[in-house]
Amino acid sequence: MKKMITAILMAGSAGLALADGLQSLEAFMKNAQAGKAEFTQAVTAPAKDGQEARTKNSSGSFEFQRPGKFKFVYTKPFEQTIVADGKTLWLYDADLNQVTQRAQAQVLGSTPAAILTAATDLKALKADFDLQPAPDEGGLEWVLATPRDKAGQLKSVRVGFTPQGQLAALDILDSFGQRSLMQFRQLQTLGSLPAATFHFTPPKGADVLKQ
């Protein structure tokens, strides 16, 4: 009997924890209209031909403004900048001195960036993603987001929050089995950021490719 009661209590506690992940996501979307953070990213490709999986690490800064504006600045190991200004997505590779320009609406519908910056509430986000609570792991509360559009390269995204409801991580899995774990630190949530934050002008002499 004691074992049965313990199991029921544990199941109930787990249910509450699972619900908290969705509540944290909803609160983040409602309260964080803008923000900035530092990040680290570990990209691990699946092992091939008996070889061990290799992980590539990078780091930089992240800023966002709802709806649909964000900037990732990678500083290590290579300098890259990704800017979405609400209409255009810009990708600048400093080593190649090359800029890729794309219409934002065509590429950001079902992406991890859309979860953080595009939708303003859970109802809007559910138009592109199936959202389910996921088990707690690593001291974080997780939400599993699966794209409704199965034709893209994104397979799933787990969004992790601290028990205090602060965004902590994105765990991204693509259709090729590649995993990208992005962890945030020193996150500041704000009411707004200067408009110039998301303004991008291709550097002089850079090759600009329109796709």
pLDDT digits (tens, 9 = 90+) for 164-189: 889 999 999 998 899 999 999 999 99
The residues spanned by each domain of the chain are 25-203+206-210
Separation between Cα atoms, residue 208 and residue 96, nearest integer Å: 11
Q: What is the mean pLDDT of residues 9-25?
A: 54
- Per-residue pLDDT band at 51 (split at 50, 70, 90): confident
- Per-residue pLDDT band at 118 (split at 50, 70, 90): confident
6 or 167, greater pLDDT: 167
47 or 57, greater pLDDT: 57
Mean pLDDT of all residues belonging to the chain: 85
Task: Kindly tell me if the per-residue pLDDT of 30 is higher than 90.
Answer: no
pTM for this predicted structure:
0.83
pLDDT digits (tens, 9 = 90+) for 140-167: 999 999 998 888 888 999 999 999 889 9
pLDDT digits (tens, 9 = 90+) for 93-109: 999 999 999 998 887 76
The topology (CATH level 3) of 25-203+206-210 is: outer membrane lipoprotein receptor (LolB), chain A (2.50.20)
Q: What's residue 20's pLDDT?
A: 73
115 - beta bridge partners?
Answer: none
Separation between Cα atoms, residue 105 and residue 107, nearest integer Å: 6
Separation between Cα atoms, residue 139 and residue 142, nearest integer Å: 10
